[in-house]
Amino acid sequence: MSKNELLLYGEIGRDVTAATVAAALQAAGRARVQVRVHSAGGSLFEGLAIHSRLASHPGGVDITVDGLACSAASLVVMAGKHVAMSQSAWLMLHDPSASLAGGADDLRDMADLLDRTRTACLDIYAGKTGLDRAQLATMMQEETWLDAGQAVELGFANAVVPAAKVAASVDLSRFQFQHVPEGVLEMTTPTETPATLAELRAAMGECDPAFIVAQLEAGATVVQAQAAMILRLRDEASKHQAALRRHGVAAIPTVPVGSTIRNQDGDFWSAVNELVAAGKSRKDAIARVARECPDLHKEMLLANRHNGSRAECRQWIDDRFHNVLV
């Protein structure tokens, strides 16, 4: 990266902030700055602040979109005196959105704020492109994705340049985009690297070693191996339940979805396993017990300062069924 080149890669407001951009521009003095962007967006207000700072830089800024310039990042790009789009780059604009829990007055205030920020976005897009505000408003409402050629044709960019090699990946799962083009999905889907033996042992050290080796040979990632283990435990629990019924032993109580958890053992992991046996995923079961049984959750945290969930689940199964199976 050259002295006056600024990389804005990542989420606006988290990986890229107005403070860091301001510091970089201050260090550049009155020199012209080359800015490279690859971002799926983020905080609207942080994006507006970055746009303002870039637009007011005395030396001017030229901006190149290496991969994505979505949402708040597209506003940042509009600050460039000259904007270039990599051949494989995309630009996206949409209406501002927010998540809010509150009363009617709170929701009305938020709606008013979103209307005003939408106007600010329209001002920026119209100032760069010269497009009619009604056309821009429709584009925002419909979540419009533009490839490099379309961005130049509509005035959002000035030129298309050869595709850049983008080292940083963007996780679109963090964003609630509705109309992501297939080409963007292919570009942003991370390549899954098989886990090493050390990684599997660290994540699943208390599992059956043969199971870990099987996952290693299958080329599973850590997440895939953990999911396979959950399915295995669920299958074993189902078999044990069937064995109980064959021997006339009452099945372990299950907890219907939406009901209140009443764990007779008074133990966090037993409550979790009841939900797993009822068909909930282990992740959802842990979250629900922690939410609905805070006392059990607190006791578990105090008693276990490491993640012993798999060992706990295995012990739970063994304790209840080893005298029943034939």
The two tokens of residue 208 are 């059956």
Q: Which pLDDT score is estimated for 14?
A: 86
Q: What local confidence, expressed as pLDDT, does residue 110 receive? A: 81
Contact 155, 128 (CB under 8 A): yes
Query: How many C-alpha atoms does 176 have within 13 Å on its Cβ side?
Result: 5
pLDDT at 188: 58
- Locate 257 and state its tokens: 């979805």
Per-residue model confidence (pLDDT) at position 112: 85
Across-strand partners of 213? none
Give domain limits for the chain: 5-188, 197-321
Predicted confidence at residue 114, as pLDDT, reads: 85
Q: pLDDT tens string for the chain (326 positions)?
A: 556 889 999 889 888 999 999 999 999 999 999 999 999 888 899 999 999 999 999 999 999 999 899 999 999 999 999 999 999 899 999 988 776 667 788 778 888 888 898 999 999 999 999 999 999 999 999 899 999 999 999 999 999 998 766 555 566 666 667 767 766 765 655 555 788 888 888 777 667 788 888 888 888 877 777 777 777 776 777 776 676 667 665 544 443 333 344 444 456 677 777 777 777 777 777 777 777 776 666 566 555 433 444 444 444 434 433 333 32
What's the pLDDT at 261?
43
C-alpha–C-alpha distance, residues 222 and 122, integer Å: 44
Q: Which two tokens stand for residue 282?
A: 């282990």
The Cα–Cα gap between 106 and 192 comes to: 42
Position 8 scores a pLDDT of 93
Pairwise CA distance, residues 150 & 44, whole Å: 24
Question: What CA–CA distance (Å, rounded) separates 171 from 287?
Answer: 23
Residue 255 has a pLDDT of 38
Q: How many residues does the chain have?
A: 326
- Please list the residues that pair with 33 across neighbouring strands: 61
- The one-character DSSP state at 171 is -
Closest CA to 233 of 255, 218, 211, 213: 211
Cα angle value 181/158/123 (rounded, 5°): 80
For residue 125, the model assigns a pLDDT of: 96
DSSP per residue over 96-108, as a string? --------HHHHH
Q: How many angstroms separate the CA atoms of 40 and 97, rounded?
A: 15
Q: Which DSSP state fits 305?
A: S
CATH of domain 5-188: 3.90.226.10
47/95 Cα distance (integer angstroms): 14
CA distances, 36 to each of 100, 152, 288 (Å): 33, 17, 43
Q: Which are the contacts of 10, defined by CB distance < 8 A and separation ≥ 6?
A: 16, 38, 39, 168, 170
Residue 321: the pLDDT is 36
Q: According to the model, what pLDDT value does residue 178 have?
A: 72
Give the other-Cβ count within 10 Å of 297's Cβ. 16
Compute, in degrees rounded to 10, the torsion defined by CA atoms 210, 213, 215, 216: 180
